[in-house]
Chains A and B, each alone.
Chain A
Amino acid sequence: MSETWKTLKPYALITPQTLVFLLFLVFPILMIGVVSFWEFNGYSMTPAFTLANYQGILTDVTFKTYLNTFKFLGMVWLATLLIGYPVAYFLAFHVPKLEWQILLFLVCTIPFWTSNIIRMISWVPLLGREGLVNQMFMGVGLIQQPMEFLLYSDFAVVLGMVHLYIIFMIAPIFNSLMRIERSLVTAAEDLGASGLQVFREVILPLSAPGIAIGSIFIVTLVMGEFVTVRLMGGGQSASVGKLIQTQIGSLQYPLAAANAIVLLAVTMLIIISILRVLDIRKEL
């Protein structure tokens, strides 16, 4: 086997995959950047260099849409963390056997591989005006009128996203919890630390990288989200993703592109600030 082939072999092997990413990821995103500077006259676009699209999206509406998207992001992030951490913690520290840990983790994972659309539709018979929740509350006399905010509302959007994306928070946290040396916990206990102290001083800091990775997933999933906002939100629920999708629907590609570039920049900024606070390199 010649030396040249040995050096070239890995490059030959990665070529197909790299081509796919260049063709369908890198080139398209570069194109979004280019088109965001093109001229748009209402129905077609022409190559040019104009900042008009960026000026066009610097409006109150865009600003409010971003605020609303941040609101969704903040609520979904908090909910996935507060629900996801105890679930991951339970699996990692309170389930005795590895087989059981894997099995229960699987139980949490399976829904993620099924259709998001169906999972959202499934909330309708529960949360609708005549849904199970309203029937139950009215049945026991807690409320007289059905609660309207349960479905087609911001509440429903957040609930839907938490339901869809929480596995992205659980999996990395579970992974980093499983890597913690059990002897560290025993050592802390032997030195007289209380259960709470062990958690705060040992377990929480060591699982921080998992929280960081989970948070990055949640940020990227929620920032570009439009399907849940459309299906579960009321007509007035707004998000950046939905705004971009509406602009594409009316073929305003340069405007949508400018919006997408801003969205990408904002998302990257959030991710970079997460990485500044927490180092994830040892997890990779």
Chain B
Amino acid sequence: MQKRSLTYYLLLAFFCLFVLFLYGPMITIFMLSMQGPDGGLTFPMRGFSFYWLGQVFQEQRVGNFIEPFVRSLILGAAVMAITIAASVLASMGFRQRFKGSTVIFYMTIASLIVPSILVSLGIGVVFQVMGWPTNWFTSGLGAHLTWTLPIAFLIMLGIFNRFNPSYEEAARDLGATDSKTFWEIVMPLIAPSLLGVGLLTFTLSYDEFTRTSLVSGQSNTLPLEIFGMTTNVTSPALYALGTLTTLFSASLILIAFFAYNAVVRRQRGKA
């Protein structure tokens, strides 16, 4: 028994180091973005203030950040809406066996594991050959969907796996049509999970870089703008921007997980 507890403590220490490895770098830039006005890019911290966080919103310091931010918000919302609609429909389709479902399933997996640069290049080539200009809201939107849709679809499959079909059967026995059953029975039950999936989809799109990078056209999304800043911004404003955008994503994720957890608990309580 003594040996077992030693393994436990070793693994616990290893796990703590791992968490430090995951979060440590993030924490350093949080700290450095709270420096005084004459702060630099490295430690030690020079003073403490919210000066740099405020500077993010001043145009002259870090270039234009508001417009890419707004673009990323709009794109994220559009990606979220399409992803939710398409993945809910598709996962409902998968509740019933049908010919070709394996092919469709593997196509979804392929979308997830094809090297991102191929998706980006491919969409770029199609637009080039067709003579269409690439744009964040056309080619960029498509590139985002190849990333968010398979993830949302796999989560939705999991949700419907746990879903109790007797409610729907009851509704149908009482004479409800398919669409009525969906809106009055299925939708209220999956709504909280949809909120979770939606927020996850939004942050995936909001932070996407690789697949967008070759097809965003003239106007950058926020991650692309930040990537551009890495070479020419040499003040803690860059860290401040990183801090703000990370806090934004992280809070969305936390809301998503809590919403999802709440619904799982509620359904378990009912079952």
Contacts and interface: CB of A to CB of B under 8 A. Distances in A.
A11 B98 contact: yes
Chain A binding surface, main DSSP class: helix
Given A28-B123, A115-B223, A117-B227, A220 B113 contact: yes
Interface stretch (B51-59, B63-71, B161-169, B208-216): B208-216
Given A21-B107, A113-B253, A10 B94 contact: yes
A25 B106 CA distance: 12
B34 interface: no
A125 B110 contact: no
Given A94-B11, A125-B28, A14 B239 contact: no
A238 interface: no
B221 to A, nearest CB: 11
Contact of A224 (B116, B209, B227, B245): B116
Contact of B22 (A9, A108, A263): A108
Contacts of A104: 15
B191 interface: no
Nearest to A271: B113
Given A18-B104, A106-B257, A115-B223, A31 B125 contact: yes
B209 A115 contact: yes
Interface string A214-258: 001100110111110001000000000100110010000100110
Contacts of A118: 26, 29, 226, 242, 245-246
A90 to B, nearest CB: 4
A113 B118 CA distance: 22
A114 B104 contact: no
A94 B12 contact: yes
Chain B binding surface, main DSSP class: helix
Interface residues of B, number: 83
A110 B253 contact: yes
Interface in B104-142: 104, 107-108, 110-111, 113-119, 121-126, 128-129, 142
Given A31-B129, A108-B19, A231-B230, A10 B142 contact: no
B85 interface: yes
A195 B4 contact: yes
Interface of B: 3-4, 7-8, 11-12, 14-15, 18-19, 21-26, 28-29, 32, 41-43, 82, 85-87, 89-90, 92-94, 96, 98, 101, 104, 107-108, 110-111, 113-119, 121-126, 128-129, 142-143, 145-146, 149, 153, 178, 200, 203-204, 207, 209-210, 213-214, 223, 226-227, 230, 238-239, 242, 245-246, 249-250, 253-254, 257
